[in-house]
Amino acid sequence: MVLLSRKADYALLILSYLNQRKTGGNAREVAAQFGLSRPFVANILKDLCHAGYVTSHRGVKGGYALSKPPGEITLAELLETMEDGFQLTMCTSPETDAEPCMLVGNCPIQSPMGEIYRRIMDVLRGVTLDEVLSPGALKHMGSAPLPMIVEAASTCCGSAAEPVAALA
């Protein structure tokens, strides 16, 4: 099971790249750095720009740069933006376009899964992009039982929209 979609995973890579280069970068450079599709990188940069995480600059020396300090961006906020509403299972988000589960209202694990989702989001709200991008910054979190919670969640109800890449 994987929690991050390719889009969210690549958004983190792009933000990392821009964070390392205070003058910014462009889609071609980012795509070349990570061996990614330039159109896909450009699309993610556009989304990051619309969400206010990066700013764009036109012209010969144009490109993108971070518009907020990484310490002001939480992982929860970024995932919710990039995933169009990050969710653990289909029943943990009231704003889903998918067909409702046949067991809604009669599911013995819907409430516990909602609580697990709330706890995961609480952890993600407490992690800033600065911590993700700074080696060793997450050591203060200790060995929280989050991996066990996530593994348990994967065996229930079905997961959110086709995840592709994991957060290491």
Output the pLDDT for position 156: 40
For residue 52, is pLDDT > 70? yes
For residue 153, is pLDDT > 90? no
d(CA 56, CA 66): 9
d(CA 9, CA 159): 17
For residue 149, is pLDDT > 90? no
* The most confident of 38-52, 71-85, 143-157, by mean pLDDT: 38-52
Q: How far is CA 110 from the centre of its chain?
A: 23
For residue 53, is pLDDT > 90? yes
Report the run of H or E that residue 64 belongs to, with start and end.
strand 63-66
Q: Read off the pLDDT of each residue in 65-88 and give the average, rounded to a whole number.
A: 87
Rg (CA), the chain: 17
- Please enumerate in sequence order all residues whose Cβ is within 8 A of that of 83, keeping only pairs 6 or more positions apart, or say none: 5, 7, 8, 160, 161
The CA-atom distances, in angstroms, between 24 and each of 44, 57, 64, 110, 119 are: 15, 9, 5, 44, 35
For residue 122, is pLDDT > 70? yes
Q: What is the mean pLDDT of the chain?
A: 78
What digits encode the pLDDT tens for the residues 131-144? 998 866 555 555 44
Q: Is the pTM of this model over 0.95?
A: no
Q: Is 139 exposed, middle or buried (0-12, 13-18, 19+ CB in 10 A)?
A: exposed
For residue 150, is pLDDT > 50? no
For residue 18, is pLDDT > 90? yes
